[in-house]
């Protein structure tokens, strides 16, 4: 099937069909589309039109489409367009983890009403169990639907159990083996089940060398473990080792995507989770805190320049290189802090000690400082300011060293205190290094120039 591409002409046809209730046309057009493709269409429709389109789909496909809509868009869409009865009809068909995500987007009142209306009471119990966990730990990422067998069962019993449980499990990654206390003992592959005689005991064919996580493991650690061992799914156990659920690769990818978006917003100086289509006030409020920090930093830098006003009055050429010092410090700081943040995120890497990190960073900074210092010195001579040669070269060299140090130590300290180290790569480190650059420049000028 070719990749779906939404065109203006196609969207106009869909909108006209929805408006005229041309059900035959819509069914024909949507029949072969993936749920993610239909979700793409919904993003372009007004709320009532999107709701009408959802209602034309069969319930199972509509549930899949809803699970493919971004959280923020879905929250608003469902709140404005859906009744509690409609929500419960679709949630009944969701995987338990996706159902919890959708319900957590709603008010407590709606959440409780939907759970009370669910026809599948096992699904309701699964949802209630999962709601106890924060969304960024293994317990919050897992789904309850999986296939498990008792270690004392035969292969024949196992096949019957798969048939019985498969109705509620969309994808069968493996069959998990538990004992009488529901403790995870291992795993048996579908291939092994197919190739083994039906009277063979599961205890004779299962693998006990299995990777699993407990419910309190952070989402970052779960993602790192699944990447390291190239897993499509990983079982989740509680403190007693009892099998509670399963985390699949698609849930981990969603988590990683959301985390990356949060880090990007933090790095660019935006607080909270906002989207382009949020209200003007929300967008402004998300930007104001770091803008204020930037303004304060700039005012402090202006104060530093003011302290050396007399020096600039005597050597007017100093003003030419102020932007160079500020921008170089900011750029070097961001480069260094970004690499440190990346290494902190890679938990599988062997972490270098602070001393070794600083030693390596300083050596790199020495090389970079020498190169940019020499290039700038050539420019100083070219514009006829030889008296500033040593001041500019030494200042730029110092700025590179100091900014590299700040870019290294800041994210490490933030990480130690449990603060998102990505914050160090944003306006914070830029503003700090602007201030350091200007301060170092005028301090060296004051010491070296005969004023």
- Look at residue 377 and tell me if it is in a domain: yes
Whether residue 206 is found in the same domain as residue 355: no
Q: Which domain covers residue 113, as residue numbers?
A: 8-133
Whether residue 212 is found in the same domain as residue 342: no
Q: pLDDT, tens digit, for every residue of 302-358?
A: 787 778 777 776 677 788 888 888 888 888 888 888 778 777 766 555 456 667 778
Neighbouring residues of 101: CB distance < 8 A, sequence distance ≥ 6: 71, 135
What CATH number does residue 30 fall under?
A: 1.25.60.10
Domain termination site, one of 78, 108, 133: 133
- Per the structure, the count of domains in the chain is 3
Residue 289 has pLDDT above 80, yes or no: no
- Look at residue 267 and tell me if it is in a domain: no
Cβ(282)–Cβ(274) below 8 Å: yes
Cβ(374)–Cβ(346) below 8 Å: no
Q: Is 277 left (phi over 0), alpha (psi -120 to 50) or beta?
A: alpha
Cβ(402)–Cβ(438) below 8 Å: no
Whether residue 304 is found in the same domain as residue 435: yes
Mean pLDDT of 241-261: 87
Whether residue 353 is found in the same domain as residue 284: yes
> 85-94, 244-253, 422-431 — which is least confidently predicted?
422-431
Which tokens is 24 given? 């035959």
Whether residue 227 is found in the same domain as residue 169: yes
- Look at residue 296 and tell me if it is in a domain: yes
What CATH number does residue 419 fall under?
A: 1.10.357.20
pLDDT of residue 216: 93
- Look at residue 275 and tell me if it is in a domain: no
Which tokens is 10 given? 């196609």
- Look at residue 209 and tell me if it is in a domain: yes
Mean pLDDT of 112-140: 91
Entry pTM? 0.66
Whether residue 95 is found in the same domain as residue 184: no
- Look at residue 123 and tell me if it is in a domain: yes
- Look at residue 139 and tell me if it is in a domain: no
What CATH number does residue 155 fall under?
A: 3.10.580.10
* Residue 208 phi, psi dihedral angles, 5° rounding: -95, -5
- Look at residue 3 and tell me if it is in a domain: no
Q: Is 147 left (phi over 0), alpha (psi -120 to 50) or beta?
A: beta
Confidence label for 51 from pLDDT (cuts 50, 70 and 90): very high
Domain termination site, one of 133, 156, 180: 133
Confidence label for 421 from pLDDT (cuts 50, 70 and 90): confident
pLDDT of residue 63: 92
pLDDT of residue 266: 63
Whether residue 426 is found in the same domain as residue 308: yes
Whether residue 88 is found in the same domain as residue 192: no
């Amino acid at each position: 099937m070719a990749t779906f591409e939404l065109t203006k002409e196609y969207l106009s046809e869909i909108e006209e069909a929805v408006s005229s209730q041309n059900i035959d046309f819509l069914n024909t057009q949507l029949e072969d589309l993936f749920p993610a493709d239909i979700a793409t269409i919904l993003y372009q429709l007004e709320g009532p039109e999107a709701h009408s389109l959802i209602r034309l789909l069969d319930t199972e496909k509509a549930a899949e489409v809803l699970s493919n809509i971004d959280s923020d868009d879905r929250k608003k869409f469902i709140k404005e367009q859906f009744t509690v009865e409609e929500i419960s009809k679709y949630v009944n068909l969701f995987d338990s983890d996706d159902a919890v995500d959708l319900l957590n987007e709603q008010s407590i009142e709606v959440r409780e009403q939907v759970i009370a209306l669910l026809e599948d009471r096992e699904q309701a119990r699964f949802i209630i169990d999962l709601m106890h966990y924060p969304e960024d730990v293994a317990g919050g990422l897992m789904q309850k639907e999986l296939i498990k067998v008792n270690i004392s069962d035969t292969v024949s019993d196992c096949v019957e159990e798969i048939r019985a449980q498969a109705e509620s499990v969309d994808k069968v990654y493996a069959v998990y083996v538990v004992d009488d206390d529901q403790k995870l003992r291992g795993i048996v592959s579908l291939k092994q089940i197919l190739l083994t005689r039906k009277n063979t005991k599961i205890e004779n064919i299962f693998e006990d060398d299995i990777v699993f996580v407990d419910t309190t493991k952070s989402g970052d650690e779960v993602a790192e473990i699944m990447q390291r061992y190239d897993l499509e799914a990983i079982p989740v156990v509680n403190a007693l080792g009892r099998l509670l659920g399963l985390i699949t690769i698609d849930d981990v990818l969603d988590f990683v995507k959301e985390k990356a978006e949060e880090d990007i917003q933090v790095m660019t100086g935006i607080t909270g989770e906002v989207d382009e289509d949020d209200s003007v006030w929300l967008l402004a409020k998300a930007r104001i805190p770091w803008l204020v920090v930037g303004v304060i930093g700039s005012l402090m830098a202006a104060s530093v320049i003011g302290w050396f006003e007399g020096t600039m009055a005597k050597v007017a050429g100093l003003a030419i290189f102020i932007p160079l010092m500020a921008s170089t410090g900011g750029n070097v700081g961001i480069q260094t802090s970004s690499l440190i943040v990346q290494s902190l995120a890679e938990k599988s890497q062997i972490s270098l000690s602070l001393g070794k990190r600083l030693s390596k960073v300083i050596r790199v900074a020495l090389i970079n400082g020498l190169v940019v210092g020499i290039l700038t010195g050539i420019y100083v001579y070219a514009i006829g300011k030889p008296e500033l040669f040593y001041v500019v070269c030494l200042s730029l060299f110092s700025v590179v060293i100091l900014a590299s140090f700040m870019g290294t130590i800041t994210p490490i300290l933030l990480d130690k205190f449990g603060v998102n180290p990505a914050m160090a790569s944003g306006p914070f480190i830029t503003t700090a290094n602007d201030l350091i650059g200007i301060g170092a420049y005028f301090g060296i000028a004051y010491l070296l120039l005969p004023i």
